[in-house]
Amino acid sequence: MRARLCAISMAAAGAALACGCFGPDPAARAARSGARAEIVWPEPPDRARIRYVGSVESPADLGIETGVLSRAVRLITGRDDGRFVRPHAVAAGGGLLAVADPGAGGVHLFDTVRNSYAFVPGASGGSFGSPVGVAVWGENVFVSDSERNIVALIDRQGAAVREIGGGAGLRRPAGLALGEGGELYVADAGNHRICVFSIDGAMLRQFGGRGTGPGQFNFPTNLWYDGLRRRLFVADALNFRVQVFDPSGAFTGAFGEPGDRPGYLARPRGVATDSDGNVHVVDALFDAVQIFNPEGALLLGYGRRGADAGEFWLPAGIHAGSDDRIYVADSYNRRVQIFAYLH
C-alpha cells in the first residue's frame, strides 16, 4: 500500500476493536451537526480515504422499476420487492450487480444498463441449495453452490448456461475469482484447496491441501484476483490469514494471525484490492473492513457494529470495482453497502 494512505492510530484502533468498531459513529455525528453528516474514514481533520456512498436493499435503491416480479421471488423470499434475505457474496461489472443470497436460496441480478432485475432460484433445471459465491464474466455470472457442490454459469438475465465442477469432487465450493485468459479459481473449502477451471469447465490444475504451512489451507473461503499485479488472494479462514499466490498457484506471501487487536484477524471473509493495490479484508467478528498494505501492515479500518449507514452485522463478501467503488455484503443487515476509495 502506498505511504500516502494515512495510517490509522494504533491506540485508537485498539480502542475501536475493543468495542467492535472502526471509525465514526454516524448517528452521533449527525446529532452533533444537526444534519446528515458525510461518513468518512478516518474522521476529520485527517484526510478521508474511505467514504460511505449508500446501500442497496432492493432494486428500487438502484432506480430499477421491478413491476410485477416473478412468482418464484414471492414464494422463495416471502417478499414481492426483490429485497435480500441474507446476502453473502457480491460482484459487479458492466452495469450488473450480482448478489448471492443463501438465505433466499438464489441470486439477485440488478442490471442498471437494461433497467431490469431478476431473482434466479436455480440453474440448469435445478435449484440452488446454498449459493455463496459470485463472479461476473462479461455477460455471464458464475455462482458457487456449497450445498450442491457445483459452480453454475448463468447469463445476464439469469438463464442457465452450464454447470461445472460436477466431476471434480468439489466439497463446499465457496469463493470465486476470474484470472487471466478467463481461468476460474474456486475455493474448494471442504477439500482445503484451490481448483482452477477453464471457462468451458475443464479442470486445469489445483493447489493446496490441509495444513498450516505456506500454500496450505484450513477451509479457504473467499478469493480475489488482482489482474494488474497478477496476484491471487485467498482468505484462509481457519488459519486466520490471507495468503497470496501467483497465477500458477505458487505461494508468494501471507499475512494475518488470530487476535482481537488491529491488524489481526478473527473471522476473515471477503478480500479485495483497490486500484492502488491496498488489500481490503472483511472480518465478520469485528463487523468491519481492515485495509492492509501488500506486506500485511494495517493502515486503516472502516465500519463498526450496528445497523446505521457505514455499520455492519456479520459482513461477508466484498468486491472492488475498477472505479474504486467498494461493495460489501452486510449479511444480517440484509443489504449491500457501497463505499468509495478516495485517492
Q: With respect to residue 234, please indicate whether it lies within any of the assigned structural domains.
A: yes
Q: Phi, psi (5° rounding) for residue 314? A: 55, 60
Q: With respect to residue 1, please indicate whether it lies within any of the assigned structural domains.
A: no
Q: DSSP characters for 217-280?
A: BSSEEEEEEETTTTEEEEEEGGGTEEEEE-TT--EEEEE--B-SSTT-BSSEEEEEE-TT--EE
| Model pLDDT, residue 181 | 86
Q: With respect to residue 91, please indicate whether it lies within any of the assigned structural domains.
A: yes
| Model pLDDT, residue 14 | 47
Q: With respect to residue 41, please indicate whether it lies within any of the assigned structural domains.
A: yes
- Segments forming the whole domain that contains residue 131: 10-341
Q: With respect to residue 2, please indicate whether it lies within any of the assigned structural domains.
A: no
Q: pLDDT tens-digit profile of 290-323?
A: 999 988 899 999 999 999 999 999 999 999 999 9
- Phi-psi region for residue 155, left (φ > 0), alpha (ψ -120 to 50) or beta? beta
If you compute the radius of gyration of the chain from its CA atoms, what whole number of angstroms results?
Answer: 19
**Residues contacting 71, CB < 8 A, separation 6+:** none
Q: With respect to residue 4, please indicate whether it lies within any of the assigned structural domains.
A: no
State how many domains the chain has: 1
Q: Phi, psi (5° rounding) for residue 26? A: -60, -40
Name the stretches of the chain with pLDDT < 50.
1-4, 6-15, 17-19, 27-28, 30-35, 68-69, 71-72
Q: Tell me which residue of 335, 323, 305, 280 sits closest to 54, measured CA to CA.
A: 335
| Model pLDDT, residue 6 | 45
What CATH number is attached to the domain comprising 93?
2.120.10.30
Q: pLDDT tens-digit profile of 66-105?
A: 654 454 455 555 555 689 999 999 999 999 999 999 999 9
Q: With respect to residue 116, please indicate whether it lies within any of the assigned structural domains.
A: yes
pTM over 0.85: yes
Q: With respect to residue 5, please indicate whether it lies within any of the assigned structural domains.
A: no
| Model pLDDT, residue 35 | 47
| Model pLDDT, residue 78 | 53
